[in-house]
Amino acid sequence: MSRGLKWFAWTTAFGLYLILLMGALVTKTGSGKGCGNTWPFCNGKVFPTYATFQTWVEYSHRVVSGLVGLFVVILAVWAWKAFRQDRVMLWLAIASVFFVVLQGLMGAAAVVWGQSDAVLALHFGFSLMSLAACVLLVLYLEQKDKGDASPDRAVSTRYKYGVWGITVYTYLVVYTGAYLRHTGSSLGCGENFPGCGGHWLPDWTSSAGIHLLHRSAAYSLWLLVAALVWVTVRYYRQRRELVRAAWFAWVFVTLQAATGIASVLSGIQLILALLHTTIISIFFSVMCYLCMRVGLPWRHDPAVREEAIK
């Protein structure tokens, strides 16, 4: 396998992470309108003559997004041509391109026409999906080199559904976090933890309510991942890849919770907010990797007898 392809894949994955980080910076610094209502240029110019901090944050995000988007397309075509008969590679390549284009179009629409907070929150999620697809493509390339790219189907269907269910739920939790940022509810409970300034059953459309909704979702996600680790170690101890990935997931969901708490207590410091974004991107990628390892739960391989969980 071409080492150049793997290095280019890793570079593209890092670029997608950079887009994710810069998008969070745009939201955090309120730079979404830093280039006015024009796209793709800034205030109608390739090189704006007048620029504020918000202008440079927004325009640099656009430039990097465009460049990395081109990298994603090149990577997808390169990987597809190198592995024409590999359907997994084809789907990962298509997913990478689809989600990076979709998040780019949503960003452009938000600038030109404006979007509701609920729609804007999807922008971060689609960026995360593109990153995860690219990371999976990289890991799949590495596994093909080792001859270990096929899914580990010798696990129960219930376990597969559990892994996929937690991954989907993770995306929903991420969405609540993005919605929280776009509605300006990051300090909806003030700098209080675990309390919420006396609010325990607030109006769920208020800042406190949105903040508590995200907290509750995050708490339950931590418990679900802890349960996943227990089940994996209890029933699939010999499946080293599954055990390792499950533990990684638990470590990163714990770090995610810790940075979330620290962000609240510190008044949402920028560095903590960006670290929070970094950790959730790693955690979601790990969960997607687990999905790839166990395979599709609704596709049963009759040649492999399942190890049913008793």
Q: Which residues contact 125 (CB under 8 A, 6 or more apart)?
A: 171, 174, 175, 178
From the CA atom positions of the chain, what is the Rg in Å?
21
d(CA 63, CA 39) in angstroms, rounded, equals 11
Burial grade of 157 (CB within 10 A; 0-12, 13-18, 19 or more): middle
Active site residues: 58
Residue 41, sorted as left (phi over 0), alpha (psi -120 to 50) or beta, turns out to be beta
Contact 236, 242 (CB under 8 A): yes
**Residue that is written with structure tokens 């689609």 in the block:** 126
Q: How big is the CA angle at 179 (ends 261 and 61), to the nearest 5 degrees?
A: 95
Contact 41, 66 (CB under 8 A): no
Q: Distance of CA 91 to CAs 83, 244, 299, 306, Å?
A: 12, 25, 16, 26
Contact 89, 142 (CB under 8 A): no
Q: How many CB atoms lie within 10 A of CB 276?
A: 22
